[in-house]
Amino acid sequence: MKSNQIKYSLILLFIVITLFSIAPRIVTAESVCCDTGSPCTEGNQCSNGVCGGLCNPLGSTEMSLIDLWVRILQLMLGGVGLFGVMMFIYGGFIMLTSAGNPDKVKKAKDTLVWAVLGLATIFVSGTVVRYLFDNFKF
């Protein structure tokens, strides 16, 4: 009974924190320039002439195919990086709940080692992709 109350309290706390962190972004009624993110005022004109409205999530509308691939690769690396961090947390959780069981300790250590190796690989590949596309024009 007590553990259910703790679980529901943690879920409620997570929901409240999420709502408080998202709410200010939802209720902002200020128009912004899509290209700079600065507020639109009468004296401040956006460089693309568009003030407010929906902005292109990919950035500029004048995007080459290479720029699109770079953005897709960055998105994929971010998703894989998030998965690596989740595996790191999972390995730590297994380690904490192993209660000295040698099989669970070995599983947790293996998970942590592979998560760290995965995160290092993701970091290096992201750095290589960024370096290639920043320094070489295709």
Read out DSSP for 29-45? ---BBTTT-PBP-SS--
The span from the CA of 25 to the CA of 88, in Å, is 30
Q: In this predicted model, which residue has the larger pLDDT, 114 or 137?
A: 114
Please write the tens of the pLDDT for every residue from 69-112.
877 888 888 889 889 889 989 999 999 999 889 999 999 999 99
- In the prediction, which pLDDT does 46 show? 62
Residue 70 CB contacts under 8 Å (≥ 6 apart), including other chains: 129, 133
Number of H helices, E strands in the chain: 3, 0
Tokens 């209660």 — which residue? 99
Residue 87 CB contacts under 8 Å (≥ 6 apart), including other chains: 111, 114, 115, 118
pTM value is 0.55
Please write the tens of the pLDDT for every residue from 21-70.
665 555 555 566 655 556 666 555 565 555 655 566 656 566 677 777 87
